[in-house]
Amino acid sequence: MSAADPKTAALIVAAGRGQRFTGSLPKQYADLAGRPVLRHSLETFAYHPRVQDLRVVIHPDDLPLYRAASKGLEVGKHVAGGDSRQDSVRRGLESLAEDAPDLILIHDAARPLLAPEVIDNVLDALEIHSGAIPALPVVDTLKRGHDGLITDTAARQDLWRAQTPQGFHVTDILRAHAAARTSGEALTDDAAVAEAAGLGVALVPGNRENIKVTTQEDLETAELWLAGRAADRETRVGQGFDVHRFGPGSAVILCGVKIPHSAGLKGHSDADVALHAITDALLGGLGAGDIGSHFPPSDPRWRNADSTIFLRHAVELVQRSGGQIRHVDLTLICEGPKIGAHRDAMRARLGELLGLPQTRVSVKATTTERLGFTGRGEGIAAQAIATLSLPRADA
Ligand code: MG
Four-CA torsion 183, 185, 190, 191, nearest 10 degrees: -90
- How many CB atoms lie under 10 A from the CB of residue 20? 9
Q: What is the pLDDT of residues 255-307, one digit of tens each?
A: 999 999 999 999 989 999 999 999 999 999 999 999 999 999 888 999 889 99
Is the pLDDT confidence value at 356 over 50? Answer: yes
Q: Does residue 373 sit within a domain?
A: yes
Are residue 67 and residue 198 in the same domain, yes or no? yes
CATH number of the domain at 291, please: 3.30.1330.50
Beta bridge partners of 8: 103
CATH number of the domain at 89, please: 3.90.550.10
Taking each helix axis from N to C end, the angle separating 308-320 and 273-286, rounded to the nearest 10 degrees, works out to: 20
Neighbours of ion ligand 1 (CB under 5 A): 242, 276
Please give the distance, rounded to the nearest whole angstrom, from the Cα atom of residue 293 to the centre of ligand 1: 12
Please give the distance, rounded to the nearest whole angstrom, from the Cα atom of residue 279 to the centre of ligand 1: 10
- Measure the CA–CA gap between 256 and 311, rounded to whole angstroms: 10
- Which is nearest to 281 in space by CA: 241, 244, 334, 308? 241
Pairing of strands 324-333, 361-366: parallel
Domain stops at, among 231, 253, 284: 231
Q: Does residue 3 sit within a domain?
A: no
Are residue 221 and residue 266 in the same domain, yes or no? no
H-helix segments, 147-252: 170-183, 190-196, 216-231
Please give the distance, rounded to the nearest whole angstrom, from the Cα atom of residue 196 to the centre of ligand 1: 53
Please give the distance, rounded to the nearest whole angstrom, from the Cα atom of residue 267 to the centre of ligand 1: 7
Are residue 181 and residue 324 in the same domain, yes or no? no
- Measure the CA–CA gap between 96 and 5, rounded to whole angstroms: 18
Q: What is the pLDDT of residues 71-121, one digit of tens each?
A: 877 787 899 998 889 999 999 999 988 888 999 999 999 999 999 999 999
Domain stops at, among 196, 231, 266: 231
Are residue 207 and residue 347 in the same domain, yes or no? no
Are residue 55 and residue 141 in the same domain, yes or no? yes
Please give the distance, rounded to the nearest whole angstrom, from the Cα atom of residue 318 to the centre of ligand 1: 20
Are residue 246 and residue 193 in the same domain, yes or no? no
Q: Does residue 1 sit within a domain?
A: no
Are residue 222 and residue 238 in the same domain, yes or no? no
Per-residue HEC secondary structure of 100-136 comes to CCCEEEEEECCCCCCCHHHHHHHHHHCCCCCEEEEEE
Contacts of residue 20, defined as CB under 8 A and 6 or more positions apart, other chains included, come to 214, 215
Please give the distance, rounded to the nearest whole angstrom, from the Cα atom of residue 276 to the centre of ligand 1: 5
Q: Does residue 2 sit within a domain?
A: no
Record the pTM: 0.72
Please give the distance, rounded to the nearest whole angstrom, from the Cα atom of residue 273 to the centre of ligand 1: 5
Domains held by the chain: number: 2
Domain interval for residue 317: 233-391
- Measure the CA–CA gap between 356 and 276, rounded to whole angstroms: 18
Beta bridge partners of 239: 385
Domain stops at, among 197, 231, 265: 231
Cβ-in-10-Å burial (0-12, 13-18, 19+) of 227 comes to: exposed
Q: Does residue 265 sit within a domain?
A: yes
Q: What is the pLDDT of residues 16-64, one digit of tens each?
A: 886 767 778 899 999 998 899 999 999 999 888 899 899 999 999 999 9
Please give the distance, rounded to the nearest whole angstrom, from the Cα atom of residue 370 to the centre of ligand 1: 22
Please give the distance, rounded to the nearest whole angstrom, from the Cα atom of residue 329 to the centre of ligand 1: 17
Please give the distance, rounded to the nearest whole angstrom, from the Cα atom of residue 359 to the centre of ligand 1: 26
